[in-house]
Structure 1
Amino acid sequence: MPRRLARLAWLALLPWLAAPAPADTPPRPFEARYHLEVAGWPDAEIRHRLSERAGHWQSEMRASLPGASGHEWGRFRLEDDRLRALHYAAGYSLLGIRRAYALDREALAPLPDRQSALVALARRAIDGACRRDCRLRYRDHRGREETLSYRLLAREPLRLPVGRFEAVRVALSEPGEDDRRLELAFDAGHPGLLLGLEYHRDGERRSRLTLTGLSTPPPLPPRRQTP
């Protein structure tokens, strides 16, 4: 049951992410709220925060619905503009059954966790780092390697109730699973921030994610040069 919760609560976000690669667009802190609709389940609210602290970045998500909850975070650092995953932790609860997972730096040295990979994928998509035959690799919450394909769909303006954005749309699929497709819309100005998401299976939309709230801190003033 806890594994079913993991697949459900994070269906819209987490099993379809990318390996790190060089990119130019730097991360920017944000706090976001999403509304998640999944066929056959109550709607859920997801909170997503990307923050910078002590020389590293942390991406964190929390979701809850009646009888179930989940959270996870991934910590990473940018080295020569390449993302390096440092640590991952997650916890899920379903009808009183709890599970916890963690991956350390050694486990994440070859491949990133899925929270860090979400930011990596967004940066690659925003910068157009791959155009054809894009293959993505990451570790799931148990540390198992996953491989997926992605392709860029469009870059276009998108108006939402919370504001106007420049959206970068990406389609992801699992090799050999042509009946399943995930479409993401990233904000070009905040790598990792999702503007929307739809998951399709067997010709039907099974889940949808919508951005409902956003808070971004003002940019820091430039540092003064000491004489």
Structure 2
Amino acid sequence: MLPVLRTFLLGITITSMLVSTAMAREPTAPRPFAASYRLEVDGWPNARINHRLSRHGPHWQSDMNAAISMARGNESSRFRINDDGIRATAYHSGYSLLGIGDKYRLGHDDLADLPDRQAALFDLSRQAVQALCNTDQSPCELRYQDHKGREEVLRYRIVERGELTLPAGEFDAVTVEAWDPEHPERQLVFSFHPELPGLLLAFDYRRDGKRKSRLTLTELTLPE
């Protein structure tokens, strides 16, 4: 199950460094939320994912965690929203399978040039709503740091704007398809809420055209 947790908690979060994105309007202002998801993976029991976006003075913090009987994973990022984009300031994550795992940490200096995964996921959800890259010939390019501080590159395009019906209700959605240019057979398909930056509505991981896992929103709480 550990690879499954990494697929979600390590594999889906991507960068805020939009290299070639045309923007239609200013990104939507963030709001705190608490969300729960159902993660379905062939051959494994379903897992529950919890995701919370909270404000701490000038900083925002994104936290995700997942657990089943034999595996656990968590990831957290703290960042600021500046006029020129997201500035990540602290990141940590941990994973374990049957009590065996590891922990990772990136500090302020490590994040000076590129954001971590959680900060990047938040910013991608903000920027993708405005992005106009919607073809294979003109995708947006994204850069970020993985959990060990290594630079990664993904490309993405907008594939659909419409409504999604989920266990948590009906929502407007912007759907984004992303891929590693070195491994185009692996595709990450995100559906974001256009008015709630950072909130995932749904996520599919596909390989060679076949869906390997699916994430769907089951609960959403918006504090007053």
Structures share a fold, TM > 0.5? yes
**Structure 1 contact 113–140 (Cα < 8 Å) conserved:** yes
Residue 41 of structure 2: aligned partner: 38
In 1, Cα distance between the equivalents of 2:103 and 2:8?
20
How far is the alpha carbon of 1:36 from its aligned partner?
Answer: 0.4
Instruction: Determine if the alignment matches structure 1 residue 18 to structure 2 residue 15.
Output: yes
In 1, Cα distance between the equivalents of 2:72 and 2:206?
23
Q: CA RMSD in A?
A: 1.8
How far is the alpha carbon of 1:184 from its aligned partner?
Answer: 0.7
Residue 100 of structure 2: aligned partner: 97
**Structure 2 contact 51–64 (Cα < 8 Å) conserved:** yes
**Structure 1 contact 25–127 (Cα < 8 Å) conserved:** no
**DSSP-derived class of the 1:127 partner:** coil
Residue 222 of structure 2: aligned partner: 216
**Structure 1 contact 112–139 (Cα < 8 Å) conserved:** yes
The residue type equivalent to 2:146 in the other structure is D
How far is the alpha carbon of 1:34 from its aligned partner?
Answer: 0.4
In 1, Cα distance between the equivalents of 2:35 and 2:6?
16
User: Any idea what the Cα deviations from partners look like across 1:106-164, whole Å, max 9, x if unmatched?
Assistant: 11111000000000100111122655331111111111111111001111122223222
For these two proteins, the number of residue pairs brought into alignment is 214
In 1, Cα distance between the equivalents of 2:6 and 2:158?
22
In 2, Cα distance between the equivalents of 1:158 and 1:79?
31
Cα distance change on mapping 1:79 and 1:128 into 2, 3 Å: same
In 2, Cα distance between the equivalents of 1:78 and 1:118?
13
Which of 50, 54, 71 pairs up with 2:53? 50
Instruction: Determine if the alignment matches structure 1 residue 137 to structure 2 residue 143.
Output: yes
Instruction: Determine if the alignment matches structure 1 residue 148 to structure 2 residue 154.
Output: yes
Q: Which moved more, 1:57-66 or 1:128-137?
A: 128-137
In 2, Cα distance between the equivalents of 1:96 and 1:43?
20
The residue type equivalent to 1:137 in the other structure is R
- Structure 2 gaps of 5+ residues are none
**DSSP-derived class of the 1:122 partner:** helix
Between the aligned residues of both structures, percent identity stands at 49
- Structure 1 gaps of 5+ residues are 219-227
Normalised to the residue count of structure 2, the TM-score between the two structures is: 0.89
How far is the alpha carbon of 1:51 from its aligned partner?
Answer: 0.5
In 2, Cα distance between the equivalents of 1:47 and 1:193?
11
Residue 166 of structure 1: aligned partner: 172
**Structure 1 contact 14–118 (Cα < 8 Å) conserved:** no
Q: Write out aligned runs for 1:44-123 (5 A).
A: 44-80=47-83, 82-123=85-126
Normalised to the residue count of structure 1, the TM-score between the two structures is: 0.88
